């Protein structure tokens, strides 16, 4: 790299140099040649990025106008690319996006064991908490499924409907922490009594958990034993 700020706001703002040697009169010497640094480095994640002709040709990102080396969205593994917006990030499909999809980073539930008997008795409270990243601004419901053979806790179709809570105020970028509570039902079905259930999955939903309202699905931790 030989110079930056060579053409502020325009193409080839950063230029490189090549050196070569020659012996015109029998001694070594060298000179320099200014070059465009679009050699081989990164792909563009969308069309119309700076001096990139397309998304299949590698070039140097950042030496030309409207070239920004975009970071990856949270949770995305892959290769960074060049985008035309300063705010862009790279999503799981390798595209430039301004807002990253919602991703659950952690989710867990904890029993408030009011009577301290080590079990989740009827009407005791369970606290659900989680952290997510990206655009989760449409999330309204936070769900954690838990189970053991013979006792399924899920929103619908299980032995107990839970662990479900409403959530508000999740952000459209960065990370969001959220929490809520769920009450153990006033009647615990006999097949769940004394059963230790372990969290199996988490979800953020735009409404009641159903495929059409899915915002994000993730893993979860948490464990409790139902009482009677
Ligand atoms: Ca260039
Ligand atoms: Ca370039
Ligand atoms: Ca208890």
Answer yes or no: is pLDDT of 21 > 60: no
Lookup: tokens for 91: 């999503």
Q: How far does residue 74's CA lie from ligand 2's centre (Å)?
A: 25
In this prediction, residue 1 has a pLDDT band, given cuts at 50, 70 and 90, of: very low
| Closest ligand (CA of 114) | 3
Q: How far does residue 42's CA lie from ligand 2's centre (Å)?
A: 9
In this prediction, residue 28 has a pLDDT band, given cuts at 50, 70 and 90, of: very low
Report whether the peptide linkage leading into residue 163 is cis, meaning its omega lies within 30 degrees of zero: yes
| Closest ligand (CA of 14) | 1
Give the model confidence (pLDDT) of 152-183 as tens digits: 999 999 999 999 999 999 999 889 999 999 99
Q: How far does residue 166's CA lie from ligand 3's centre (Å)?
A: 23
Residues lining ion ligand 1 (Cβ < 5 A) are 12, 36, 38, 51, 63-64
Rounded CA-CA distance 24/172 in Å is 64
Give the model confidence (pLDDT) of 92-136 as tens digits: 999 999 999 999 999 999 999 999 999 999 999 999 999 999 999
User: 92 and 109 in one domain?
Assistant: no
Q: How far does residue 65's CA lie from ligand 2's centre (Å)?
A: 8
Rounded CA-CA distance 153/165 in Å is 14
Is the Cβ–Cβ distance between 78 and 92 less than 8 Å? Answer: yes
Domain carrying residue 142: 103-225
Q: How far does residue 10's CA lie from ligand 2's centre (Å)?
A: 10
Q: What is the CATH number of the domain that holds 160?
A: 2.60.40
Q: Which of 78, 98, 118 is the last residue of a domain?
A: 98
Is 61 among the domain residues? yes
Task: Give me the pLDDT at residue 176, please.
Answer: 95
Domain total in the chain:
2
**Within 10 A of 33 (CB to CB), how many other CB atoms are there?**
10
Rounded CA-CA distance 78/221 in Å is 27
| Average pLDDT over the chain, rounded to an integer | 90
Q: Which of 98, 121, 146 is the last residue of a domain?
A: 98
Answer yes or no: is pLDDT of 26 > 70: no
Task: Give me the pLDDT at residue 54, please.
Answer: 96
């Amino acid at each position: 790299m030989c110079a930056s700020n060579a053409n502020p706001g325009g193409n080839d703002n950063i230029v490189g140099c090549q050196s070569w040697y020659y012996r015109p009169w029998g001694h070594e010497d060298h000179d320099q040649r200014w070059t465009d640094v679009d050699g081989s480095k990164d792909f563009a994640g969308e069309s119309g990025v700076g001096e990139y002709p397309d998304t299949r040709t590698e070039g140097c990102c950042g030496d030309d106008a409207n070239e920004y080396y975009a970071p990856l969205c949270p949770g995305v593994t892959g290769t960074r690319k060049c985008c035309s917006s300063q705010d862009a990030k790279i999503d799981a499909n390798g595209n430039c996006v301004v807002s990253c999809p919602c991703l659950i980073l952690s989710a867990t539930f904890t029993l408030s064991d009011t009577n301290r008997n080590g079990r989740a008795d009827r009407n005791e409270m369970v606290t659900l908490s989680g952290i997510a990243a990206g655009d989760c601004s449409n999330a309204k419901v936070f769900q954690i499924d838990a189970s053991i053979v013979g006792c399924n806790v899920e929103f619908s179709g299980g032995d107990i409907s839970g662990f479900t809570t409403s959530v508000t105020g999740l952000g459209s970028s960065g990370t969001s922490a959220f929490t809520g509570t769920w009450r153990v039902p006033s009647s615990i079905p006999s097949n769940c009594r004394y059963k230790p259930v372990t969290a199996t999955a988490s979800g953020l939903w735009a409404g009641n958990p159903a495929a059409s309202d899915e915002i994000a699905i993730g893993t979860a931790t948490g464990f409790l034993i139902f009482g009677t």
